[in-house]
Amino acid sequence: EVQLVESGGGLVQPGGSLRLSCGVSGLIFSRFWMTWVRQAPGKGLEWVANIKYDGSEENYVDSVKGRFTISRDNAKNSLYLQMNNLGVEDTAVYYCAMTTMVTLDKWGQGTQVTVSS
Amino acid sequence: IVMTQSPDSLTVSLGERATINCKSSNSLLYNSNNKNYLAWYQQKPGQPPKLLIYWASTRESGVPDRFSGSGSETDFTLTISSLQAEDVALYYCLQYFGTIKTFGQGTKLEIE
């Protein structure tokens, strides 16, 4: 069974940093694109960033470009999201998701990030 | 690419048809393979999204056949042919044509 488990969320002050992790099991992690998607309280889904299976390509939504960095460690079956200079607008549940066939078809349960003073 | 769903919310009686629309600011049809890069997701409270439809009309394995997708280029529709109680959820379209993917704003489906 494929499992994605996010961790690293929490409460952080504006301007602070946080690093999210996503551990993947049940398939060959290094073969698949990985993505972070977030959902602010009571709001819709927002695609944040993705990374190619070998880490050679990264893409970001404009609102996080220059502040967030997506990365992966295929030896550890893990995906990361380094988030710097956080603002209240970054408060959300952050999901990691993967594309095993066509598009995002496997999802974790999410981790809550709250940016507040 | 901007994705706009309509309506924002929808109330339908059990057993009736529900229709959700999704409009893209750019064509999602890739001419080289004649596929529309559009997916539909269902999200229930406290859960991650679940993939229902991809390539605009292909049902994900295990998804009931009352769910169907249609449309091409910029206009797409998700139809639930006979609404069941367990279909109460938020529904999102997603375009995966562009390098940056984008979701619609979501449609809340409720039972009358």
Cis ω before B7 (30° cut-off from 0): yes
Q: What is the mean pLDDT of each run of 10 residues along chain A (117 residues)?
A: 97 98 96 97 97 97 98 98 98 97 96 97
Binary contact (B39, A104; C-beta < 8 A): yes
Q: pLDDT tens-digit profile of B80-105?
A: 999 999 999 999 999 999 899 999 99
**A44 at B interface, C-beta within 8 A:** yes
What CA–CA distance (Å, rounded) separates B32 from B44? 36
What CA–CA distance (Å, rounded) separates A83 from B27? 33
Query: b vs e for A70-101, b when ≥16 Cβ sit within 10 Å of the residue's Cβ?
Result: bebeeeebbbbbebeebeeebbbbbbbbbbee
The number of residues making up chain B comes to: 112
Report the gap between the CA of A5 and the closest CA in chain B (Å).
12
Q: What tokens appear for A46 in the block?
A: 């927002």
- pLDDT score of A62: 97
Chain B CB contacts of A97 below 8 Å: 48
Tell me how crowded residue B30 is: count the other CB atoms within 10 A of its CB: 11
Report the gap between the CA of B102 and the closest CA in chain A (Å).
6
